[in-house]
Amino acid sequence: NAGVTQTPKFQVLKTGQSMTLQCAQDMNHNSMYWYRQDPGMGLRLIYYSASEGTTDKGEVPNGYNVSRLNKREFSLRLESAAPSQTSVYFCASMKMTGAVYNSPLHFGNGTRLTVT
């Protein structure tokens, strides 16, 4: 059981380049999330998808776009990378029970992105 799989594991970009971070889960979860982790700042929510076909902004959405391709896959795109986007990016999924978020999040192992 793979859980949440993120690709790539590492990436180096030059300022202005674009890239897409891929995320897939095999747990039949309905909700998926993208977080970024920076030293001393914990995890900050970039975008989330409560269910297939819906996406919404989190705390720090500027400079990013997302696509919920199907129930399994949720991608994060950087259209024009900036050094401020150097971070570790985590995808997570959750099985939502009813309308209340009391289930745990399941995380991938992260993508380490450096923008020079």
What are the residues binding other proteins (CB under 8 A)? Answer: 4, 33, 35, 40-45, 48, 50, 56, 58, 90, 92, 98-102, 104-110
Shortest distance (Å) from residue 115 CB to other proteins = 20
DSSP states of 14-29? -TT--EEEEEEE-S--
Select 17 or 107, whichever has its Cβ closest to other proteins.
Answer: 107
Shortest distance (Å) from residue 26 CB to other proteins = 15
Shortest distance (Å) from residue 64 CB to other proteins = 16
**Nearest of 86, 105, 83, 109 to residue 96 by alpha carbon:** 105
Ramachandran angles phi, psi of 86, nearest 5°: -65, 120
Select 84 or 109, whichever has its Cβ closest to other proteins.
Answer: 109
Select 59 or 79, whichever has its Cβ closest to other proteins.
Answer: 59
Sheet holding 64-68, edge to edge: 4-7, 19-25, 74-78, 64-68
Shortest distance (Å) from residue 6 CB to other proteins = 8
Select 14 or 100, whichever has its Cβ closest to other proteins.
Answer: 100
